[in-house]
Amino acid sequence: MKKIALAPALGFALAFGSSAFAADDLGPRLYFNHCSACHGDNGEGTGPVAASMRVTVPNLRALAQRNGGTFPTDTVRAYVDGRNIPAAHGDRLMPIWGDVFRGADQDADDRTVRRRIAAIVDFISLLQYRDASP
């Protein structure tokens, strides 16, 4: 069942020609399991939970577009991690994945957490719109 549900996200990644995901599906798997409920399988903010949110879920496919055509890797990595975002920056409406990826017992090492976050960020970078408009 899990392989069938993961197929749309993996297919989307492979359609963009990334040979890295043919060998390592960590990014798509993590995205599908942790992000797609809100952001949707394609990253456009249309996941099944999005309609019940009190705010509009961001379209992750437009991050590069909104950043002058360059994917903001460091900003996305920091936001996904969430452990070092000052509270003064407002309400955080998504989980602090840096803590989640440490595990229930907080026993995963920081290298593992960084690798998981990097895999999600790399996958999101593949979802970016390729032309000037969505």
Containing H/E element for 118? helix 110-126
Give Cβ neighbours of residue 97 (< 8 Å, ≥ 6 apart). Answer: 34, 80, 81, 82, 116, 117, 120
Structure tokens of 19?
């040979």
Residues 66, 44: Cα–Cα separation, whole Å: 14
- Residues 43-71 pLDDT 10s: 999 999 999 998 899 999 999 999 999 99
d(CA 39, CA 28): 13
Most confident of 8-22, 30-44, 120-134: 30-44
Check residue 21 and give its pLDDT.
43
CB count within 10 Å of CB 88 equals 5
In the numeric block, the tokens 């000052």 are attached to: 86
Q: Is the pTM of this model over 0.85?
A: no
Q: What is the CATH number assigned to the segment(s) 2-126?
A: 1.10.760
